[in-house]
Amino acid sequence: MLFGNPGKARVQLSPDGSRISYLAPVNGVPNVWVGPADNLEAARPVTHDTERGIGLYGWAYTNDHIIYLQDQGGNEQWQVYSINLSSGETMNLTPFEGITAVVGAMSDKYPDEIVIGINNRNASLHDLYRVDIKTGNMTLIQENTGFLGFYMDNDYNVRFAVKMTPDGGKEIFEPAENGSWTSFMKIGMEDERATNILGFDKTGEVIYMADSRDRNTAALYSLNLKTEERKLMAEDQQSDLNWIWTYEIVGLYVPQILVHPTEMNVQAAAFNYDRIHWKVIDPAIAQDLEYLRGVADGDFHVISRTLDDNAWIVVCIVDNGPKRYYYYDRKKGQARLLFTANSELEGSPLAKMNPAVIKSRDGLDLVSYYTLPLNSDSDGDGIPDKPLPMVIIIHGGPWLRDDWGYSADHQWLANRGYAVLSVNFRGSTGFGKNFTNAGNMEWGRKMQDDLIDAVNWAVERGIADPNQVAFMGGSYSGYAALVGLTFTPETFACGVDICGMSNLTDWIESFPPYWQSVIDLMAVRVGDVRTEEGRKLLAERSPINYVDRIHRPLLIAQGANDPRARQNESDRIVQAMQKKDLPVTYVLYPDEGHGFARPENRLSFYAVAEAFLSQHLGGRFEPIGDDFQNSSITVPVGVEEIPGLEDAITEKG
């Protein structure tokens, strides 16, 4: 129920508003469904994946085509597909081997065409092609001569290009005569993360920017390209303009701004310190946002709008229930509930998430969130009646952030009797550039100190039992879990590492080709693999070199196809622990990448993890039983370390 695929998710309106699409399972696998906007009971699946499912999709402006991306087994070698809803035909728009394609732009002015970036000529660089979604015909519009990416206007004109600079910053260029480029803007390393071009107005003469230069928090600005007039549109003194993960077809990490679908003017911007709050720019939607604030008790996002702007899809986020999707009729000024993301969770006894600001030892404010088991806090003061075993689980990245809202991990662990704590440590984004840049060169040091300070805070307030704290995380926080068990081995009773990095030098040197442009940035934020001094620092921060310090149990999980933190990152630390006869269990999935997409695999992993945590922290767990059904789980090492695991693997066959 918690770790299966949601019943319905990632809802979108067709541009003309006649149809609604969403992701929902077909035989347990997420696929795209489409139905009439006024009769969702008639929705039918239009994709038919049987493996890891569809995640990234969107409407073309024809109103009769769906565009989606798909890789193989989590290898992130994305291909772009077009579905003709009238004929049911699916076409691969990028039929090349071993590429990673990205959708660069879609425009209502050219409904039959989209722009796709393809690295078939050079694995490190994406050239831009204009592709006909009906025929598959493609035309090269921009060869990439060394840029990280491009900015296009609504006419598919390449207006700017960006590349990293040797100091970890970036430089934006504009096209000049004879295919050359001239510098338009230089952005220093300290502002690189928070300063970006967001888009163009209707005339193409004004750009919108998130900008942290000459200030701490990134604000929203407009810049007139002809007059060079720069105007402040929205700001917040505590937080940056908010960015969110999205699963629409263009862009994965996008600014949370509301832009009119045809007039192209920014109408509102969201900021997020401990909760989301909107700042209205265009009075034309002030009444709409005021109404939506009262629709449900949570934080809301507008995730889809029709071209005529008469209909919106709005999702409401709460902390103790599934996402709620609404159809908002602007003419009537009314929102109607379409469905929740997971009907099985409706009415379930779920816990509340508490925001807290924790002081680090050197005075930084760490915006954090913690969840307590139901009925553990009888007076409702946010402190349990007695200290609890606690699991600290933080975000990956590390240049992302944790947010308030529903978390399956928090709910699962709280249900099993644990306090759960998530911390925005230095290096996290969203709290101003000073906070983000405080994490530079602090992997395994002050970034980790923040997490220890948060644990101590929870202990001092009677939330956590100091002898029963576990660290569980994935990607960067998988690395942090390994650091916790090697650098501060007395702090944690056990650790769970999901696709974490154990050797920072090898990790950076094994980046996929299309990541090579960020090596300069990694040199100033993590360490420089190209210098002797940098390699020494990276070695000092790599858990693989301190395995002999581990004396707490460790569970490691890995996807075999992971291109970001490759399997050898986990293999090596497991082998090192085996040589020293240290307790370790290694769970490996041959059909997964950076994280676990298949619900059968997620269920099997969490079944193992809760048995592991129960063994070392004492919380509740359900015997593994049939949780491995249809999972690809293998346990190369340590099957005997966790109760019931050996029998479950044997029964699985």
506-532 per-position pLDDT tens digit: 999 999 888 888 899 999 999 999 999
Q: DSSP string spanning 427-495?
A: T-SSS-HHHHHTTTT-TTTHHHHHHHHHHHHHHHTTSEEEEEEEEEEETHHHHHHHHHHHHSTTT-SEE
pLDDT confidence bin for 254, thresholds 50/70/90: confident
Average pLDDT over residues 86-94: 96
Query: CA torsion 560→587→465→438, rounded to 10°?
Result: -10
Q: Is 90 exceeded by the pLDDT of residue 68? A: yes
pLDDT digits (tens, 9 = 90+) for 290-341: 999 999 889 999 999 999 999 999 999 999 999 999 999 999 999 999 999 9
How high does pLDDT run on average in the chain? 94
pLDDT digits (tens, 9 = 90+) for 51-66: 889 989 999 999 999 9
Residue 444: what pLDDT? 97
User: CA-CA distances (angstroms) from residue 43 to 40, 46, 56, 480, 562?
Assistant: 5, 9, 19, 44, 34
Q: Are 339 and 357 in contact (CB under 8 A)?
A: no
pLDDT confidence bin for 286, thresholds 50/70/90: very high
How many whole angstroms separate alpha carbon 587 and alpha carbon 589? 7
How many whole angstroms separate alpha carbon 200 and alpha carbon 209? 9
Q: Choose among 501, 605, 617, 508: nearest CA to 553.
A: 617
Residue 651: what pLDDT? 85
Residue 177: what pLDDT? 86
Average pLDDT over residues 414-436: 98
Task: Give the distance from CA 308 to its chain's centroid.
Answer: 30
Residue 13: what pLDDT? 97
Q: DSSP string spanning 525-590?
A: HT--TTSHHHHHHHHHT-GGGGGGG--S-EEEEEETT-SSS-HHHHHHHHHHHHHTT--EEEEEET
Specify the 3-state DSSP secondary structure of 161. strand
Residue 3: what pLDDT? 57
Fold of 349-474: Rossmann fold (3.40.50)
Fold of 475-503+543-653: Rossmann fold (3.40.50)
pLDDT confidence bin for 5, thresholds 50/70/90: low
User: CA-CA distances (angstroms) from residue 575 to 567, 580, 585, 646?
Assistant: 12, 9, 11, 20
Q: Apex CA 544: angle with CA 539 and CA 545, to 5°?
A: 55
Average pLDDT over residues 559-573: 94
Average pLDDT over residues 617-629: 91
pLDDT digits (tens, 9 = 90+) for 337-359: 999 999 888 888 999 999 999 99
Percent of the chain at pLDDT exceeding 70: 98
User: CA-CA distances (angstroms) from residue 51 to 96, 143, 600, 610, 626?
Assistant: 21, 34, 11, 26, 20
Q: Apex CA 214: angle with CA 208 and CA 220, to 5°?
A: 25
pLDDT digits (tens, 9 = 90+) for 15-52: 999 999 999 999 989 999 999 999 999 999 999 999 88
DSSP state of 241: B
* Residues classed as catalytic: 475, 562, 594
- The residues spanned by each domain of the chain are 349-474, 475-503+543-653
User: CA-CA distances (angstroms) from residue 626 to 107, 600, 602, 616?
Assistant: 48, 11, 13, 23
